[in-house]
Structure 1
Amino acid sequence: MPLTPVEPVRDEAQEIVQQLKAALAAHGIVLPSLNVDLPSFAHLTGEALIELGRVNQETARALIALATREGPRT
């Protein structure tokens, strides 16, 4: 697998994290550990992982409610 420059991958991953934080915040959901998984950059495969982290039961229920609402899927 060819190596990929880190900066564009990192920048895209950080933008995704910010968009996800904003989308969840609009529903009153905060994932304190939501961030880019820095060790995933070590592989330089062209894709970074997003760390969602651990949440309490209340947040998990809020995520379930949001994820099971009827609406468009992309």
Structure 2
Amino acid sequence: MHSPAEADADACVEDLRVALAAHGITLPSLGNDLPAFAAHLPTRPLIVLGNCNLLTAKALAAALRKGAA
């Protein structure tokens, strides 16, 4: 069963995946950083954006610039 932090992280990853897809961007390594859930302290989930190629990085930068305008 997912903890509230895990469910929130999963939802965040999916929201980011959908938002990026709306701009034609796919980050293949997008996901949760599973070791972050292994801590005995209150969980502070990390989202892994991962690696991407040059074209994807340029598309991401363009989408962020457009959104900031």
Identify whether the pair has TM-score above 0.5, normalized to the shorter chain: yes
RMSD: 1.6
Structure 2 alignment gaps of length 5 or more: none
Tell me which residue corresponds to 2:56: 59
Query: Would you say 1:49 and 2:41 are equivalent positions?
Result: no
Deviation at 1:69, TM superposition (A): 1.4
Written as runs of structure 1 = structure 2, the 5 A alignment for 1:20-59 is 20-43=16-39, 44-59=41-56
TM-score, scaled to structure 2: 0.87
Structure 2: distance between partners of 1:64 and 1:32 = 17
Provide the identity percentage.
46
Query: Would you say 1:11 and 2:7 are equivalent positions?
Result: yes
Which one has a larger percent helix, Structure 1 or Structure 2?
A: 2
TM-score, scaled to structure 1: 0.82
